[in-house]
Amino acid sequence: MNTRIQAATRQIEGPLLKVTDLCTHFRTERGLVRSVDGVSFSLDRGKALGIVGESGSGKTVLSRSIMGLLPGRNTERSGSVVFEGEEIVDLSLRDRRKIWGREMSMIFQDPMTSLNPVMRVGKQISEGLSIHLGMDKQNARETALKLLYDVRIPEPEKRLDQYAFELSGGMRQRVMIAIALACGPTVLFADEPTTALDVTVQAQILELIGEQRRDRNMSVILVTHDLGVVAGHTDEIAVMYGGKLVEKAPTRTLFANMKMPYTEALLRSIPNIEDASHTRLKVIPGRPPDLVNPPKGCRFSPRCEYVQPKCIAEEPPLLTAEHVDHVYACWYPVGSPVYREKRAQLDRQGAGVPVGAV
């Protein structure tokens, strides 16, 4: 990989990460599963991007595809991933391994299955330090301890010699973060890092990731199905639906002025803190699209309350909103005359609230 000076020079010239028309398809007996279908975005150093979408929308495949962490056989990948000015989409496994951990690392959803059950926590953290940074045993152990302090695990010395099963869910996730941070990555992917945790620990873990991002000037890609999770922890949000990026905007702009009816539905599916605890989780009615045979026009059209004939016939391109950093793929965005007319009609029929609030 390149020297830090080269990287810094390149950084001045462009974004840290630039993904262009990335496709990741899987050959299956049923046909080609288009899990990621022409996704483009860029990310600057030190920034946090949220990738949001329902289950199956392609968030994990997109993150893994950017890192080059995909099963080889039956996978077709095309497009471009430029990282620190260098095309990495066609790197050999040997060169990709040099990037993993040192340049890009990932916190996985379930720490219990990602941590090694028969290896002590300290060893799991120090292993990467020895392999990637060539640290000797003593130095790696001291650095592992410092990392456990950094991730604010209680009694860090004691944890070094414990196994994953001896730790709580929150502590295990902190260990995962320590492992991911060990070699000082430039980009950290956090794939649903808090779903298995209770609300208080969730907030602490998100705070921790944010704090480490600021301290290390690291970029973060935070993957979640919950718009509420990314609201206070990202600079920008990319919304995925059926393998496509359908809206992207700075976080504040998105919340103040979302354009996609799908984004609106996602927002309304966030549980309200005032709801009684027995209230049913709000879901978007209908099923996500079949990624082998997606709908011809807008992929959200079979589920969209505002659907018009044009939506079914023609796929909407990514359009730019009033704010230049805001793009969306919808023929009749939230607030447009057609949207307003349809909304009024639905209200008259007693639909009452937009689709996500059902």
Ligand X SMILES: Nc1ncnc2c1ncn2[C@@H]1O[C@H](COP(=O)(O)OP(=O)(O)OP(=O)(O)O)[C@@H](O)[C@H]1O
Would you tell me which residues interact with ligand X (CB under 6 A)? 26, 28, 33, 35, 53, 55-61, 71, 225, 291
Beta-sheet pairing, 75-83 with 86-87: antiparallel
Q: x/- binding map, residues 87-116, to Mg ion, per CB under 5 A?
A: ------------------------------
For CA atoms 303, 308, 311, 317, the dihedral sign is: negative
Q: How far is the CB of 314 from ligand SF4 (least distance, A)?
A: 9
The site partner of 316 among ligand SF4, ligand X, Mg ion, none (C-beta below 5 to 8 Å per kind) is ligand SF4
Let me know: does 259 contact 326? Beta carbons within 8 Å: yes
The site partner of 227 among Mg ion, ligand X, ligand SF4, none (C-beta below 5 to 8 Å per kind) is none
Q: How far is the CB of 303 from ligand SF4 (least distance, A)?
A: 8
Radius of gyration of the chain (CA): 21
Give the DSSP per-residue string, 206-247: HHHHHHHHHHHT-EEEEEES-HHHHHTT-SEEEEEETTEEEE
Instruction: List % helix, strand, coil for the chain (3-state, nearest 5).
Output: 40, 20, 40
Stretch that binds ligand SF4, among 80-88, 105-113, 191-199, 256-264 (CB under 6 A): 256-264
For ligand SF4, which is the closer residue by CB, 271 or 286?
Answer: 286
Let me know: does 204 contact 183? Beta carbons within 8 Å: no
Q: How far is the CB of 76 from ligand X (least distance, A)?
A: 11
Let me know: does 266 contact 52? Beta carbons within 8 Å: yes
CA 34 to chain centre: 18
Exactly one of 109, 205, 301, 354 binds ligand SF4 (CB under 6 A); which one? 301
Q: x/- binding map, residues 329-348, to ligand SF4, per CB under 6 A?
A: -xxx----------------
| Binding residues vs Mg ion (CB under 5 A) | 60
Binding residues vs ligand SF4 (CB under 6 A): 260-262, 298, 300-301, 304, 306-308, 311, 316, 330-332
